[in-house]
Each structure stands twice: as C-alpha cells, then as structure tokens.
Amino acid sequence: MSSPLSWGPPHPERADAARNRQRLLTTARELLSEAGPDSLTMDRLAERSGLGKGTVFRRFGTRAGIFQALLDDNERALQHEILSGPPPLGPGAAPVDRLTAYGSARIRFLTENEDIARAATEGRRPGGRRPPMSQIHIRVLLRELDLPGADVDVLTGQLASALEAPLLLQLLDAPEQDRSALTARFEVGWRYLVERVCGSTGTTAG
C-alpha cells in the first residue's frame, strides 16, 4: 500500500478543465521565463493560452493563485519523495530525522523557486520593509539568553514568524470555536515553544 493519502483535489475536475489548467500552467511558465513575473498578467495569460479571462479566474481565483499553483505543481516531486522515497525524507527514518530532512528539502525547494515564491507571497514591494518591532525585541531577548550554538538571527525570524498574523488568523478561521479559547491555546503554545527553545532542558535532569 503506497496509500496516496488525500493530497489530491478531493473533487476531480472535468477532462477539459484539467487540460486547460495544464495549458495555463505551461503558458504561465513560458511567460515567466521569457519576461519575468511582472509580465504575467491575467489578460496576457488568457490570450496566450487561447482561453478566456473568465477561465483563468475560475481556475486560480487570483493572480497570486497562479503563482501558488505553480509552486504547488513544482512541489509535486518533493511530495512524492516524502510519500515513497528513500529515508530520511521518505518513510522509514525516525520522525525527528524526517522533520529535519523535510525542512532542508523545503528550504532548498524555496530557494530554487525563489522568484515564484516571491510573486506568490508579496503583491508588490511597498518599499523598505524595515524589520518590525517583534523581531527587534525578540532578537534582543535572545541575545541576552546567550543560547549556545544558536544562530540568533535565524532563530529570531523563526520565533517571530510564530507570532505573525497569518498563523493566528489561520487558527481563528477554524469554524465553531470560541475566540478566547483559541487565543488561550495559542498563548499556551507560545509558552511551550519558548520554554522548549530557550529551554530549561537540563534542569529536570539536574
């Protein structure tokens, strides 16, 4: 049983729809490699694919959606390695090792697809994104902690990203839960993370 799990669209598309999606993705990649992300407009993509604008929007919903779709599509190979490739990325290794392996793989994947990832994430660059308050504050505190072997700058980013809006909003989107309970969970989760990372790990073993 390779059990492909449920990582496919739960609702299979009609044959022509699938064909058009493929055509659109291909054209998108062409435009991208020919003239960069800015040249990839919905109109142009539609026309050059020989399809209607409506179709493009039906498929991807949003301009960012196209880049997201491209990214997802490129991610398929990685997905396959995880499901049925060799360890430690694939099954068979210890969970911790699979976790670190997955992280490395994903980081490499993102750097290889930097331009697409960038286009999928940021709309336009609103100018100088100075590091926000969170990062400055967290960095200072981490430095005071003086964690041996830690890359403070990287760790700062990692912790800060756990306090960014998208994560919390995603949790809040969970249906039929009451807010206060969710935020409480989130706060406890944060405390857990901090304690683990900045860890009084040795104290218990004494």
Partner DNA sequence: CGCGTAAGCGGGGTAAAGTCCGCTTATGTC
Partner DNA sequence: GACATAAGCGGACTTTACCCCGCTTACGCG
Where along the sequence are the contacts to DNA (CB under 7 A)? Answer: 13-17, 20, 40-43, 46, 50-55, 57-59, 61-64, 123-124
**Within a 13 Å sphere around the CA of 131, how many CA atoms are in the beta-carbon half?**
11
**Distance set, CA 44 to CA 16, 24, 31, 58, 140 (Å):** 21, 11, 9, 16, 48
Task: Give min distance, CB of 51 to a second copy, in A.
Answer: 19
Peptide bond into 9 cis (omega under 30): no
Residue 22 interacts with, from DNA, a second copy, none (CB under 5-8 Å by kind): none
Interface map 93-132 toward a second copy (x if CB under 8 A): --xx-xxx-xxx-xxx-xx--x--xx-xxxxx-xx-x--x
Distance, CA of 108 to CA of 110 (rounded, Å): 5
Closer of 118 and 196 to DNA (Cβ): 118
Task: Give min distance, CB of 80 to a second copy, in A.
Answer: 11
Region 133-192 residues binding a second copy, contact defined as CB under 8 A: 133-134, 136-138, 141-142, 144-145, 149-151, 153-155, 157-159, 161-172, 179, 183, 185-192
Distance, CA of 31 to CA of 48 (rounded, Å): 9
